[in-house]
């Protein structure tokens, strides 16, 4: 993809770029010499993420915008392109979560997760296409989740939103192929990741949320996103765990559901002191403090994925 823009370094724009997977992905692209544009709601988080990119020795620009506001996102995208140059790749990484039984989750919270996680991806894609279509080139990567292969209990809003993200990406990709467009749409499916997502989520479980193991460090996912942006691969599971989960959900759905029933309820409640102390829901408003890349579950998180290592070796 970068060779399409020989006049200057390639440019990536990342929504949800102030923390977690989005911020980590910014560092991976920056390390490869890309210029980086970051979009998020919180100015403090964006400033900290921008410092990371500058430390990697590349150019960065930020824009404060809510992905649920289509007009604001379009303005942010246009401003970032004006500052950094033609956008080569766009990563939709913004998302949030609410944990609890469906009957215990207020309608407003359910709607907010859907609007940020699904419609935020739609709005981001719309903004990216507005920039890319005149040039007929570019790559869009939608960060999805392994929950699309079997929804998780206590995550009904998130599971539904991510399933919608996958269907949206599949449909749009075919539309672009029919038009003979050179714009590529990729959807990546990460496993559970050690990020502040769980501290930022609302919990109706009596305890803060935690990822269902096995848990991976965000660096693994960020490298997968970079690979998807470069290759244009339609869909990519970012760990053998997710690949196996997807296969089992197809060939043994009843057994898979039974396993999730045993592990997916108590397994999402964290009783760790660090998780309790750092719980700071940001579903409706950003924090006034900078967030970070990693969460509090690093002691149990895997730092590499055999599947992704093999993909890098043989791609």
Q: Which neighbouring-strand residues pair with 236?
A: 188
Cα 145 to the center of its chain, rounded Å: 8
Residue 190: C-alpha distances to residues 74, 163, 208, 222, 253 (Å): 27, 13, 21, 9, 20
Residue 38 and residue 109: Cα distance in Å, rounded?
Answer: 25
Cα 194 to the center of its chain, rounded Å: 13
Which residues are marked as active site?
Answer: 158
Residue 193 and residue 216: Cα distance in Å, rounded?
Answer: 5
Query: Pairing relation of β-strands 35-40 and 202-203?
Result: unpaired
Q: Which residues contact 99 (CB under 8 A, 6 or more apart)?
A: 154, 155, 201, 202, 203, 204, 205, 209, 268
| CB neighbour burial string for 178-205, b if at least 16 within 10 angstroms, e if fewer | eeebebbbbbbbbbbbbbbbbbbbbbeb
């Amino acid at each position: 993809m970068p060779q399409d823009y020989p006049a200057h370094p390639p440019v990536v724009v990342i929504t949800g770029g102030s923390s977690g997977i989005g911020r980590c992905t910014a560092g991976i692209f920056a390390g490869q010499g890309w210029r980086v544009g970051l979009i998020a709601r919180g100015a403090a988080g964006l400033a900290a993420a921008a410092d990371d990119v500058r430390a990697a020795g590349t150019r960065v620009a930020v824009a404060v915008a809510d992905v649920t506001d289509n007009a604001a996102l379009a303005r942010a995208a246009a401003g970032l392109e004006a500052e950094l140059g033609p956008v080569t790749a766009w990563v939709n990484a913004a998302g949030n979560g609410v944990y609890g039984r469906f009957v215990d989750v207020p309608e407003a919270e359910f709607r907010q997760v859907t609007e940020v996680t699904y419609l935020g991806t739609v709005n981001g894609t719309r903004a990216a296409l507005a920039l890319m279509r005149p040039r007929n080139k570019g790559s869009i990567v939608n960060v999805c989740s392994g929950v699309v292969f079997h929804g998780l209990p206590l995550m009904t809003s998130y599971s539904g939103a991510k399933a919608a993200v996958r269907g949206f990406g599949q449909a749009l990709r075919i539309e672009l192929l029919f038009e003979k467009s050179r714009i590529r749409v990729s959807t990546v499916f990460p496993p559970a990741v050690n990020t502040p997502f769980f501290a930022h989520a609302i919990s109706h479980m009596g305890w803060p949320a935690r990822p269902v193991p096995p848990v991976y460090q965000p660096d693994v996912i960020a490298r997968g996103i970079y690979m998807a942006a470069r290759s244009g691969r339609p869909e990519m599971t970012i760990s053998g765990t997710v690949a196996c989960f997807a296969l089992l959900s197809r060939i043994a759905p009843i057994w898979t559901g039974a396993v999730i029933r045993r592990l997916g309820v108590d397994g999402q409640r964290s009783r760790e002191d660090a998780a309790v102390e750092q719980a700071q829901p940001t579903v409706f408003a950003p924090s006034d403090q900078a967030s970070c890349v990693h969460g509090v579950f690093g002691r149990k998180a895997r730092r590499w994925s055999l599947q992704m290592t093999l993909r890098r070796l043989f791609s």
